[in-house]
Every structure is written in structure tokens, then in C-alpha cells.
């Protein structure tokens, strides 16, 4: 049906249902559309069919919910009730902050955990104060992230091992440097991740160890006596084998990472068999007894430290001292010698070594060239003096033979002065030598400083 440019002012009652006059929908004024929308939403309104309600929905908005707002009003602040509720509570696509175990306790652990709450950190700190009587010092206090990571391992029943390459004092400051790890090609298309270096000496190890000791006391994992006993063992080994710190650090790391768990399993088996258990054994807190046993395990420390250190020193201290397991790993696993050992002392770059070799080669070449020039100079003077003596001998005189090259004190003689040729030919007897290499002015035959070879009466 035809329409004019004028909008309809009729109400929905006069137009009928939208399905009957869908062609008039675009010509309805705003108030008519709103009245029809309210009638469809309100229980006392018009009785529209489901298809007609859907038709209204096709207009601009849904027929569910309240109809106080104008559904045809263009506004970005108005949305469906369900959408507004979800938007106000959380923002989709936002990732919660998580901590990575690889950057806190163990470089090989790729799991994640949530940060601890302030209440948890306060309770852990209070446990330390109850034992020690005062809070830990700033350089020995573990961060909340370190405590949460170690607590996660303890709750999972794992060994309280921490990697001192990443477990360091002031964790928040040092975590930035852990972003820069190096992937080194192995030649077969694969790459090796170079781990962060471990403590380079006992002093650095003690800094990391004291942070771990404070964390272990806060979490109630190990007793203070067991921690101190283990610390004394490492200090004693360092005093005995001061030149083998890399070997001690590897053995200490292996002990906490592997040996502690083996000791715990062995104690559980002994307890199940009814054997006599250590006095400090507690099935709920097994790590105190494990640390005490590890500190006194002479077989382990002898195998990992003392025997390799003695063999290395007997071989002239060449190369790097390695425990048997480390030597096997380096020999059989590709890339093990390209920096997989975090306790290995870095070698001098090849460029620096090559530079030193070249300097030594240049020095040897210069020395040979100087000796060759001296021999050439001597041969030249001898050839001139020999011809003079031969001519004198042909006249009936007797040749004086070969002259000396050094005097009675072992000083070299000046050939130029003795033969009367060259730099010192015109120097008077007793004068100083004018050559670059200073020699003594004496006769080669009688070693007299008063005359030259030609004037020798001998």
C-alpha cells in the first residue's frame, strides 16, 4: 500500500499485529514502537505470539527484561542486564598474575603457582620469629614468592630442594637478569638452553643458603640444628679442597636435589620394617632427619668430592675435576660440554688465547732474526780478516788462526773494533762501543784492550 512522506501517528491497536502490517514498521513513529515494545514485555500488555515477539526483537532490542529504557535509544552505556553484570564483575581476556617455579626454585620445573596472600606471608614470618627471636636480616629474608614456591613443593611431598642459580637474595631484583637465557646450537638442528650460573665461591653460596635457611624455618620444614650441621659440612669440604669449589658445589647441589629424596624413601622403608629410627625422625617432617643424615654421609661426600679431587690433583690439576656421574654425562650426552654445567668455571675465550700465541710467535721470530743478523755480521768481519791473513801468509808470514769471541769474563768482543771495520773502526783503545749491542773492545788473539787484531804481536 502506498504511503506518503509523513510518519504515521496511529497506535498499534489501529494498525494490528506487526505480522499483518510489516510493511508499515518503518513508517511508525518512535512512541508507537515503544508502546508496542512495552506491551510485548508487560504481562498486562498485548498478547503477542512468539513469532511476533521475535519480530519485535528483530527491531532493535530483546523483549525480555524491563522496558523502562527506550530500546531504540542509541547509547553505548546501556546493554542487556546479563551483559552488564558480567562486565562489572570481571573483564574477559585478563590473565591473573602467576609465579613460575623455574624462576624461583628450580630451572627444570615449568609449573606455575599463584602468589601468596599477605596473611600467609605474615604467618610464615611469625613462625621464624618464634624460633629465632627476631625477624631475618634484609639480605637473608626470602620473598613471598620464594616462600610460596618452596611451600608448594613441601605440600606435594617433594624434597625441599632449591637451585641456587635462581634462589638468590633479593629475588625481585635478580629475577630481571633471568630473562636473558642463551640458546646454543648443537649442530644437529637442536638447541641447548644454557642454565644460569651457580655460586662461584663459598661466599656466594652462603648468601643463597641463608635465604633458604630462613625460608625452611618459616615453613617449619627443617630444624635449625640440621641446617647448621649441613652448612658446616660444606664449609669443611671447602677448607680441605679450596681449589675444587666447582666439584663441591656440584656435589652439594646433587645432594639436596637427589640424595635427600633417596634418604627419605630409605627411612620410610626402615620404619615399615620396624627398624630403629633416628631420634629426630618424624613422618610428617622427614627433612630434618634427612638433612642430618646427608651432612654425615661420608660415603657420599667421598665419592662426589674427595676421590675426584685427589685424582684431579694427581693428574697435575689439568682440566676440570668431575665426579664419576658428571664425567659419564659429559661423555655420552650431546651438548654437555657446551655449557650445561652451571658450576663450571668459564674458560678464557679462544680469541684471547690465540692473541697470546701470536705474541709469543712474534717474540720468537724477532729473537731468531736478531741472532741471524749477528751471525751475518760475524761472518762478514771474519771473511775480511781471513783474506788479509791469507795474503800475509802467502808472503811467508804465519797465520794466527781463529780469534776468540769472548774475553776472560765471558763478555762478547766487538768484531768491528777488532777488525778495524764498521761502526767502531775509528774508536781509540779503551773507548766505548758505538754499536747497538754493546761489546768489549779487545784483541781477539791475546785479549788485550790496547790494540786491534792487526797490531797483535802474538
Whether residue 1 contacts residue 25, with contact meaning beta carbons closer than 8 Å, is answered with no
Domain ranges, ordered by start, for the chain: 1-73, 97-221, 233-345, 404-458
How far apart CA 190 and CA 186 sit, in angstroms, is 6
CA angle 178, 180, 182 (to 5 degrees): 120
Q: What's the pLDDT at 353?
A: 73
Q: pTM of the entire structure?
A: 0.51
- pLDDT, mean of each 10-residue run, the chain (458 residues): 45 48 54 57 46 41 45 44 41 74 86 90 91 88 90 90 85 56 59 68 92 94 94 94 88 91 91 91 92 94 91 79 68 51 49 76 87 80 54 42 78 86 85 85 86 82
Q: What's the pLDDT at 48?
A: 42
Residue 315 C-alpha cell reads as 693428574
Which residues, 6+ apart, have CB-to-CB distance to 226 below 8 Å?
Answer: 280, 287, 288, 289, 291, 292, 295
Amino acid at each position: 500500500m502506498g504511503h506518503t512522506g509523513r510518519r504515521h501517528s496511529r497506535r498499534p491497536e489501529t494498525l494490528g499485529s506487526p505480522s499483518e502490517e510489516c510493511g508499515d514498521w518503518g513508517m511508525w513513529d518512535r512512541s508507537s514502537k515503544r508502546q508496542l515494545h512495552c506491551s510485548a514485555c508487560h504481562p498486562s500488555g498485548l498478547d503477542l505470539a512468539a513469532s511476533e515477539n521475535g519480530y519485535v526483537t528483530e527491531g532493535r532490542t530483546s523483549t525480555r527484561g524491563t522496558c523502562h529504557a527506550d530500546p531504540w535509544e542509541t547509547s553505548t552505556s546501556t546493554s542487556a542486564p546479563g551483559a552488564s553484570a558480567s562486565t562489572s564483575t570481571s573483564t574477559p581476556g585478563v590473565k591473573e598474575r602467576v609465579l613460575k617455579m623455574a624462576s624461583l626454585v628450580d630451572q627444570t620445573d615449568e609449573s606455575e603457582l599463584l602468589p601468596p596472600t599477605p596473611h600467609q606471608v605474615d604467618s610464615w614470618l611469625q613462625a621464624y620469629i618464634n624460633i629465632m627471636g627476631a625477624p631475618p636480616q634484609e639480605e637473608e629474608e626470602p620473598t613471598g614468592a620464594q616462600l610460596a614456591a618452596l611451600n608448594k613443593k613441601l605440600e606435594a611431598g617433594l624434597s625441599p630442594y632449591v637451585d641456587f642459580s635462581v634462589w638468590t637474595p633479593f629475588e625481585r631484583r635478580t629475577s630481571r637478569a633471568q630473562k636473558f637465557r642463551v640458546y646454543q646450537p648443537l649442530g644437529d638442528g637442536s638447541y641447548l638452553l644454557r642454565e644460569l650460573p651457580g655460586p662461584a665461591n663459598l661466599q656466594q653460596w652462603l648468601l643463597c643458603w641463608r635465604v633458604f635457611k630462613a625460608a625452611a624455618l618459616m615453613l617449619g620444614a627443617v630444624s635449625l640444628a640440621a641446617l647448621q650441621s649441613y652448612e658446616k659440612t660444606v664449609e669443611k669440604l671447602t677448607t680441605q679442597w679450596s681449589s675444587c669449589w666447582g666439584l663441591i658445589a656440584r656435589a652439594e647441589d646433587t645432594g639436596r636435589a637427589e640424595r635427600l629424596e633417596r634418604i627419605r624413601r630409605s627411612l620410610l622403608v626402615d620404619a615399615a620394617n620396624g627398624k630403629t629410627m633416628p631420634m629426630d625422625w618424624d613422618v610428617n617432617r622427614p627433612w630434618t632427619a634427612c638433612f642430618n643424615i646427608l651432612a654425615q654421609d661420608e660415603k657420599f661426600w667421598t665419592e662426589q668430592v674427595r676421590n675426584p679431587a685427589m685424582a684431579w690433583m694427581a693428574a697435575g690439576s689439568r682440566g676440570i675435576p668431575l665426579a664419576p656421574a658428571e664425567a659419564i654425562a659429559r661423555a655420552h650426552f650431546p651438548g654437555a660440554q657446551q655449557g650445561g654445567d652451571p658450576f663450571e668455571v668459564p674458560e678464557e675465550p679462544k680469541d684471547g688465547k690465540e692473541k697470546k700465541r701470536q705474541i709469543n710467535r712474534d717474540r720468537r721470530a724477532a729473537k731468531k732474526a736478531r741472532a741471524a743478523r749477528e751471525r751475518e755480521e760475524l761472518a762478514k768481519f771474519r771473511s775480511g780478516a781471513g783474506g788479509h791473513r791469507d795474503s800475509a801468509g802467502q808472503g811467508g808470514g804465519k797465520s794466527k788462526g781463529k780469534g776468540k769471541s769472548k774475553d776472560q769474563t765471558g763478555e762478547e768482543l766487538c768484531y768491528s773494533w777488532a777488525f778495524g771495520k764498521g761502526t767502531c773502526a775509528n774508536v781509540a783503545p779503551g773507548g766505548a762501543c758505538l754499536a747497538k749491542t754493546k761489546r768489549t773492545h779487545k784483541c781477539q788473539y791475546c785479549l788485550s784492550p790496547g790494540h786491534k787484531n792487526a797490531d797483535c804481536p802474538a
